Amino acid sequence: MKILRILALLFLMSSKIFIKIGRVIGKFSHEAFGDVIQNIGINESTKYNMLGTESEIYYLDKYWQILGKYLGVLSAGDLILDLGCSQGRFAHRLAVEHPKVKIKGIDLSQRAIDYARDNSPKNSENLEFQVQTIRECLSAQADNSVSVIIMTEVTVFYPDWIKDIPDIQRCLRPGGLFIITFRSRYYNLLHCIGNDNWEALPDILEKDEGFLFGNPTKFQWKDKFQVSEILEGTMGFHLDEIYGIGGCSGIDGDPFARITMPENLNKDQKDLLGQAEEKIGRMIPDASRYMLAISSKSV
């Protein structure tokens, strides 16, 4: 018993040392190799399939409950850009529900785009996928040519999206929608507290981007005041709504997964969870997995 306890202690100590080493290496390697390291980390994240996971389908439905009314005003020929589309869960649904609208999904991951193409809905001629970075896609786009830009669950891995703001403003047509999500500060706090990672807390409280969990990828997180400051203050857009997605549940590895995971629930339970998350999403968007912000470019 004593030996087991010593072994467990040794394991705990070594894992903490590795996290510390990982953090130092992460910071150093990022300074030295910047975008290359970031893109490797992002590419790795696309091994997780967002199209075929039941919990992600649940969250897609939650997004749709909010987005439906905004997307209802689209006209034939309008263009939607789904930036960082991964396996295409948003683009596919858009293509089915808006057959007369053009949808372009882009992602830097070849693996994700291959999967998105292979699993495209039937007769979705209005849908196109391309391996591209967000910057490449936006800079090739003509002024005022896009009706909707969607960037869901992307900024968490791509803090540099801030540099794309001038292109986002330029490409969107007047009145066009900018739909973006942000990882909440609260989520990261819970994650660290839940994993006994106390040293990361000051950074999460005081900063809004950096290296977490011994990972060389740079992450970004926000609270709702910062979100409105960026969209209204920096971008001069009209902020329609900030809404929380996943206030009472999560996916494997999330702090919220300790409460529940949608994939483990039956239909009735999922419906009840959905009602609870809808209320909480409106009341306290900061206390969710992601904050969904819908804004529009001034006419």
> Contact, 238 vs 178, CB < 8 A?
no
CB count in 10 Å sphere of residue 250: 23
Residue nearest to ligand SAM (CB): 84
- Where does this chain bind ligand SAM (CB under 6 A)? 42, 45-46, 50, 84-86, 89-90, 107-109, 112, 133-134, 152-154, 157-158
Least distance from ligand SAM to the Cβ atom of residue 208, Å: 17
Choice between 158 and 221, CB closer to ligand SAM: 158
Choice between 153 and 286, CB closer to ligand SAM: 153
Choice between 84 and 176, CB closer to ligand SAM: 84
Least distance from ligand SAM to the Cβ atom of residue 8, Å: 34
Residues contacting 146, CB < 8 A, separation 6+: 79, 80, 81, 171, 172, 173, 176
The full DSSP string for 181-238 is: EEEBHHHHHHHHHHTT-GGGHHHHHH-SEEE-TT-SSEEE-B-HHHHHIIIIIIS--E
SS3 178: strand
> Contact, 284 vs 276, CB < 8 A?
no
SS3 247: coil
Choice between 152 and 188, CB closer to ligand SAM: 152
Choice between 186 and 219, CB closer to ligand SAM: 219
Least distance from ligand SAM to the Cβ atom of residue 90, Å: 6
- Token digits of residue 31: 């300074």
Least distance from ligand SAM to the Cβ atom of residue 142, Å: 20
Least distance from ligand SAM to the Cβ atom of residue 197, Å: 21
